[in-house]
Structure 1
């Protein structure tokens, strides 16, 4: 009884407080400063004289119901200190009938040279109506003061800054009243709300997230978002999607006790992928403009239009040749989303105006750009505008990546949660929501690793179809990016006891080596870029766009000491940057968008899930760990060598262009090398919830940082 009485008292007190906000205007949670700071330095203008006989008046429109003060830039006309003068300067507010509403008298002796002067008022106004600000002198021997006025065009604007308090809007008051009713329902609905404790915890969790977002909006986003319809709509869509993903995850993890990572991945990656797709406009992902042009060329080939321009450049619709700004910013976001409803005008085919207008899809495998090209093909067939062309191309790439990762998490026997966490890295989500084929490469490599580990750990003997599937995925994986061909040697961690045939079991090592050799040969025949890197020759398009380097594998082999020096210098200079960029500190065009403390949290969850491997550690011996470690080191070295060949100038002391995203594909092998004897399965529901909601909370904060960066540029 006492408990209910206390609840009732608190609730009634809260409602009373809320109801007094509007009519009584007891609180003003916001402020507004109208006008720039009235500095005179470096600005064109004039000094307007304030006389002792006449008032200096300026008209202004009230932007709120309460004016708290004004800031002026005034000065004397002589060198005598203010302290030697008597008298006052009077600043007053008058309505349209000339009636004084508020006034403040300031002793001239208390003024200071070379300072802005703040006059504190407390004027109750009517928002939207016009008032006059009056300034005059009384009882002083000081003949004149001057007020600075800016020059804007052919007119002058007074250097006055108005400081307002802003009361809540009527809609906000109504929302507060509704919140009171909801709060009362929660306080007294314990007997009637099912799973009351879960409901309260979920409600408090969402309230905390809302408070964090509200703080960012109020102090970071509001001044820019409120004055821009496009940005405000983008912001609202982002907020709705973020609310949706947290509600879905709370429902699945906390209410339905869903523990299967592949199902949780499906919802999380799709919605977070769309969020990253929205916040990053076209061509802001690394090399996305190049990937777009290559995807466009492949879509033309699929449509039976395989011609290029006379200069070898890709032909695109003139309406698709509009925005090629590479750095994300406020202007780009606004320009990009302003084309949503733009009608498709008449167009012609013309040369691409991209930074790299030459297609790389003709020198690589079809799988690099197939899914993006299908999205572009559909947009072109239906004659959709530029915006929807970009969205469809990105969307098909995202869906293909999600399908590959879903299959990976479902079939891999260890490291399921490790892969889930990797899939939630800002770097991976940004790539997945772009035209980059890196996510297809990541998905294919993950799927290959998953299939190998599945064969190793399941109880079934290996079948011919398994070998065929391994070979097929291996060919696609290495065709997309050849530097990951060392992963093919994972086939050697499959025990020979898995082979039923005695002949194959006896010669299993030779047969596996033969399979790896066949995959590498097929890959080299399809992907001629690997051959050009080895031989030191360059294809035509590389020469045209300026990717010319004197190094080749031959020259590197003759100077191994130089190689060791380059690798060591790179680790010393770029090691920390490469590590943090794996998780997503550097997004877009390698821009530092996310703070280190946020990246440290991602690293913490990543390390935590390293030990979660479903108790399969008993089947992992020392040779498996060593093999996996050697393969990871080989892939990392090949990635560095590739950048040395194509991106590092001769004479450079470090390898340029090595990025963290190149190390993402082989990270699942850490589940093999890091498995330890007291390993645990992530079976407790609360732990699952912490991993899922934890990665989403970090992405939520990451989106806030990214949006703040975009609005500030």
Structure 2
């Protein structure tokens, strides 16, 4: 019987994958033979305007009422090509309508490939701010090909596989929510990883890739071509994040060009292996992925993929143990960690994965000991939690107040006062150590300023705060309150995708947040754990408040011009490490559903799957189709 179920599952996966691929290529399958394949089009210069210093070149391609799956035109131009493409297509009434596509092409490319999927009469390519003498558009092509996309097949496989696992092994995944998290986050994370472009997609990813790559090649050094060197710097067009590929063909072409430059390009830029001081812990796993890829002789895109993959793996492992250990609010941590922004962070180069994962794991260990009905806490687990959180906070010391969480544990819960003092002193020392990495550089005038913020000066800004504390407090509170809804429940926290298109589910995600905060799947587990009391919640909000204040203050010092009543640079994702504790603070665990824990968790898991699968499909349509 078991083997029969397994065979049925395999058959369903294969049928689903094949069915989706055939359905996606239905227009190509039923095309006339004369319209299939590659059809070349010759360009004609329609107009070349130069009025009032505004230059515009327009090229027209006559298609002649043919179906166009994809349209490609080759060109010669030595800069980013920004073009407006107008497609004259035949609508359902048989009339010609126009639709426009604004496209920004990477400097790496010499061809533009867009998805059309319409029966077309003509296509116009308008290139603003470029005279026809400076650009050469060679020819156009209609690409009507049957294409089986691996990324789409993997998305289909993942969705069907997750549903099958939840159906067949419901108890294994829903009684142990950490298993469901691994199932959903790992598979959907890989799907997202397969769909994103080969160039910069994450926040400040060139800086983080620079650090991870140099850590991976330590202690050696190597030389790279200009195209690859662009991945280490913001001062380049090779890695320009606003020129994302507009089709899977463009993404593959960029990958081919980068791989060729990595292997055969003119290697004149030296890259030396080095560590990045307190930021180093945040890149250990990504550097390991890069190191492994280089040892295996993979291409440059393979190196980038492996670095991102190891970031995802470290994220899943850290959150697996955090959800497993956390005595309350497992559903809260699952939800926060399985949203689009969280998974995007997990698959890009950054130190946020280690920061968030280590803090979540540390909080889980501390709460398990504190809320346990055991008379005596295990000080070894508390010290381990402090060590893990310290490791995680090194790249971002603004979360140091969270390390003071063990202070709320009464001395009588320890085997002896000596052990109680040992844990609490360790907590205080870790907090002091981390704060010294944040405050001392500013006091000594050695703080690093973010030049993107303009004429910033951390020392002058700190002086401004200390001499006008009431004014700054007002500015701080105003910004915290103004951004609170989006940063805690909305788009800035859960739907922003850095340089990619914002995720959808504008109303569903906040509703899910309210659901996990207000509704509990069962009565509080009074057998093994104590309930949170008022003083616990007060301590939570004090530590959360201090961390949030430090987040805003750090950006006020490093990213904002001195003396202004505004704070620049703060993003919703910076709240993520404090968010699980804040949601637990808000939750009462007194509103219960009578449907049982498994059904509650099944609903939550399916909703997270829906959101992530929808996000992956949208990314596929944008960058892989």
Does TM, normalized by the shorter one, top 0.5? yes
Say whether 1:462 aligns with 2:377: yes
**Are the counterparts in 1 of residues 360 and 577 from structure 2 also a CA contact under 8 Å?**
yes
What is the 5 A alignment of 1:206-605? Answer: 222=117, 227=143, 233=149, 236-237=152-153, 239-252=155-168, 258-281=174-197, 282-301=199-218, 304-305=219-220, 316=224, 320-321=228-229, 323-327=238-242, 329-331=244-246, 334-338=249-253, 345-346=263-264, 350-351=268-269, 361-458=275-372, 459=374, 461-501=376-416, 503-504=417-418, 508=420, 510-523=421-434, 528=437, 530-539=439-448, 548-550=456-458, 551-571=460-480, 574-579=483-488, 580-589=490-499, 592-594=502-504, 596-605=506-515
Q: Give the drift of 1:605.
A: 4.0
Summarize deviations over 1:615-655 as a string: whole Å, max 9, x none: 35843211111000111111111111111111112344321
Cα distance 1:584–1:44, how it changes in 2: closer, same or farther (>3 A)?
same
Cα distance 1:232–1:447, how it changes in 2: closer, same or farther (>3 A)?
same
Cα distance 1:324–1:687, how it changes in 2: closer, same or farther (>3 A)?
same
Measure the CA separation in 2 of the matches of 1:557 and 1:653.
Answer: 14
Measure the CA separation in 1 of the matches of 2:212 and 2:537.
Answer: 39
Q: Please, what TM-score do these two structures have when normalized by structure 1?
A: 0.61
**Are the counterparts in 1 of residues 255 and 301 from structure 2 also a CA contact under 8 Å?**
yes
Q: Give the drift of 1:260.
A: 1.1
Cα distance 1:652–1:519, how it changes in 2: closer, same or farther (>3 A)?
same
Cα distance 1:669–1:232, how it changes in 2: closer, same or farther (>3 A)?
same
Q: Give the drift of 1:263.
A: 0.7
Q: Give the drift of 1:290.
A: 1.1
**RCO higher in 1 or 2 (8 Å CA, sep ≥ 6)?**
2
Q: Give the secondary structure class of the aligned counterpart of 2:242.
A: coil
**Are the counterparts in 2 of residues 249 and 692 from structure 1 also a CA contact under 8 Å?**
no
Gaps of 5+ in 1: 1-28, 35-41, 46-58, 65-158, 167-219, 308-314
Question: Which residue in 1 is equivalent to 2:39?
Answer: none
Tell me which structure has the larger Cα radius of gyration: 1
What is the 5 A alignment of 1:82-161? Answer: none
Summarize deviations over 1:497-550 as a string: whole Å, max 9, x none: 32112x437xx3x5444212321354467xx455323444335x9679978425
**Are the counterparts in 2 of residues 446 and 665 from structure 1 also a CA contact under 8 Å?**
yes
Q: Give the drift of 1:566.
A: 2.0
Summarize deviations over 1:419-445 as a string: whole Å, max 9, x none: 111111111000001111111111000
Summarize deviations over 1:298-349 as a string: whole Å, max 9, x none: 1122xx2269xxxxxxx65667336512137334854443366756623565
Summarize deviations over 1:268-324 as a string: whole Å, max 9, x none: 1101111222232242111111110111111122xx2269xxxxxxx6566733651
Measure the CA separation in 2 of the matches of 1:516 and 1:329.
Answer: 45
Summarize deviations over 1:330-374 as a string: whole Å, max 9, x none: 34854443366756623565448xxxx999952324311111111
1:644 aligned residue (547, 556, 565): 556
2:581 aligned residue (644, 652, 669): 669
Cα distance 1:470–1:685, how it changes in 2: closer, same or farther (>3 A)?
closer
Q: Give the drift of 1:678.
A: 2.5
Q: Give the secondary structure class of the aligned counterpart of 2:149.
A: helix
Q: Please, what TM-score do these two structures have when normalized by structure 2?
A: 0.68
What is the 5 A alignment of 1:619-698? Answer: 619-670=531-582, 672-676=584-588, 678=590, 680=592, 683-698=596-611
Gaps of 5+ in 2: 1-28, 36-44, 49-61, 68-86, 95-114, 120-141, 231-237
